[in-house]
Every structure is written in structure tokens, then in C-alpha cells.
Amino acid sequence: MRITAFHARSKILVALIVILSQFVDIAEGQDASSTSSGGDNGSNDDTDCDVPTQYRSHGPIIAVTSCTGFVGSRVVRSLRRAGVSSGDIRCLVHRGTTKNVNSLADLEDVRYVDFMDMSSVAEALRGTSMIYVNTPQSDNVLAMRSNIAHAIHEAGGIRHIVALGEPADVSWYGLSKYWDDHRSGLSELERLGIPLTILQPSWFLDLFPGIVAHDKFQRVGTKPSPYSSVDDVADVTAAILRDGPIKHGWKRYSLINALLTGDEIAQAMTEARGGITTTYVPITLD
């Protein structure tokens, strides 16, 4: 099943240009505060939405793994915006993590664990009923995912697993050990017999600011490829966790905002760079 989240194809190009342009502004020394998107300040302006009673306070505890990460931190933020109380979110952070720890400041239940140690993860999961599963970027992704699966079984009580799986774009397969291990690690979660929802994002548009200064944009193949927005992926994840396993158990969702060609991405980068040309160079796997 494909979920097209929140953006029309034409709008996503505009959004990409805006994202890239903001990065150029910051790089040139302009005030970054003017380019910050609403919501990054941790405010909860959207908490007046229609939230199921059981999630307003003292509801089922949702465990979020790797919750200082690129996706996990946004999942926590989306849950909070959706009205899930801080006390109903249990953040699992890999011991030794220093990146983005400021995002944990207003959370009540943060557990530092070693994802290579199944017992420490199992202890942190006791008392939780739902879990979002992702792991830090590491050469040990497969082992970490295996430990999380065993910890879920050991802890007991979890009735819904939402896991970040392999990309929706099959051209990634075989190119990245990290994503290949994500794909392989799903089998152990499936064997638990607990309702599982697998989310398949695509290339994250949000990563393009990191390559905005390049004169070339390289990608495998010439056909249009799917792209995702990490904030939309987080919002969908939060909605699935709130809806629960009856609606979403044993389903796989491809999270796609838009299908874009390499030339369209290069054109957006060119516009963001004020007309300095970025050229698309397709990569062939021969």
C-alpha cells in the first residue's frame, strides 16, 4: 500500500527549492532564525486536535528507539503535537549518544540502553505497549535489530510494532549495507507474531541541503524515483501508533511524497543556488 503524504508533486519541488535556498542563506551568514520552520522550537500549538481519550494522559506507553536520531526525534515531536503526553512516551537512547540530546529536555521518561545488550533493552521496554523500531547508523544494525526483537519478546506486553524498513525505491537494494540490514532485520520482528507495521520511506528530501553546494547531482538510473519528507514520515508514524494494530497491523506502507527525476532535482538545486548550474549525472551499475 502506498501513502502519499501531504504534498502534491508540484509543491514538493517548491518545498525542495525553499529548503535548499534556506541552507544557502545560512551558509552565507544570514540569520538562521528566519529560516527555522515552525514547530522546531518544541511548542505544542497543535495539541488541541481530537485525541483519543486513552492518549491524553496515562495512556498506553509508546516506546521510541533511537529517539535522538534523524527520524526518531521527529516521531517523538509528532506524537507530542498529536496530543500524546510526555509521560506516555518512553525514549530509548543508545548509550554514548551525544547528538541531538537537547531534544530530550522536556521528556519525562528517557532510558539509556545498549542496543547490543538485549537485557538492557528488555528492561527498558517493560511496561510499554507499543514501539517504534529504528536503530542508529552503525555497522551493527542487524545485531541491534535482532536484540530489539528478542527484547520485545522478553519484556512482554507490547501489542503493536511499527518499524522503519528498507526504502521503497528498489534501486537502493544492494547499495547500502545499512538499508540492506534494515531489510534483513525485519524477519525477526515478523517471527514474534505481534502485529507489525512496516514503513518504507524513500530518499529523504531533507538531506539535500548537505549537497547543495555541489556542481553535480549523482543518482542511479534515469527514471523518476520516489522521495520522502522526514517530517511527513514522522507524522504518519505517529498516526499509525495512535490508531493501533487493528487498523494497521500486518501492513506495509510505502511513504512517498513525490516521484522526481534527477534532472528535476538538479533544476531545483540550480534555482536554490541562484542560477549556478547543478548538473545531473546518472550512475550506471556495470
pLDDT in tens, 189-213: 999 999 999 998 888 877 776 666 6
Q: Which residue has the cell 538531506?
A: 207
Report the alpha-carbon distance of residue 138 to residue 194 in Å, rounded: 26
Contact between 103 and 68 under an 8 Å Cβ cutoff? The reply is: yes
- Helix 177-191 / helix 141-155 crossing angle, nearest 10 deg: 20
Tell whether the model's pLDDT for residue 151 goes beyond 70. yes
Helix (H, G, I), strand (E, B) or coil at 214: coil
232-268 confidence digits (pLDDT tens): 999 999 999 999 999 999 999 988 888 888 888 888 8
Helix (H, G, I), strand (E, B) or coil at 205: helix
Distance of CA 100 to the CA centre of its chain: 15
Give, as one character, the DSSP assignment of residue 165.
Answer: -
Report the alpha-carbon distance of residue 182 to residue 91 in Å, rounded: 20
Distance of CA 236 to the CA centre of its chain: 10
Instruction: Mark residue 42 as left, alpha or beta (left: phi above 0; alpha: psi -120 to 50; beta: remaining).
Output: left
Q: What is the structure's pLDDT at 260?
A: 87
Kindly state the average pLDDT of the residues 208-233.
78
Q: Which of 8, 4, 21, 16 is nearest to 274 (CA)?
A: 21
Q: What is the structure's pLDDT at 175?
A: 61
69-122 confidence digits (pLDDT tens): 999 999 999 999 999 999 999 999 998 887 878 888 888 999 999 999 999 999
Q: What is the structure's pLDDT at 49?
A: 37
Q: Is the four-CA dihedral 45, 227, 68, 143 of positive or negative sign?
A: positive
Tell whether the model's pLDDT for residue 41 goes beyond 60. no
Contact between 171 and 202 under an 8 Å Cβ cutoff? The reply is: no
H or E segment to which residue 62 belongs: strand 62-65
H or E segment to which residue 13 belongs: helix 9-27
What is the pTM (predicted TM-score) of this model?
0.76
Report the alpha-carbon distance of residue 9 to residue 251 in Å, rounded: 25
Q: What is the structure's pLDDT at 2?
A: 39
Terminal Cα-to-Cα distance of the chain (whole angstroms): 32
- Among residues of the chain, what percentage have pLDDT more than 70? 73
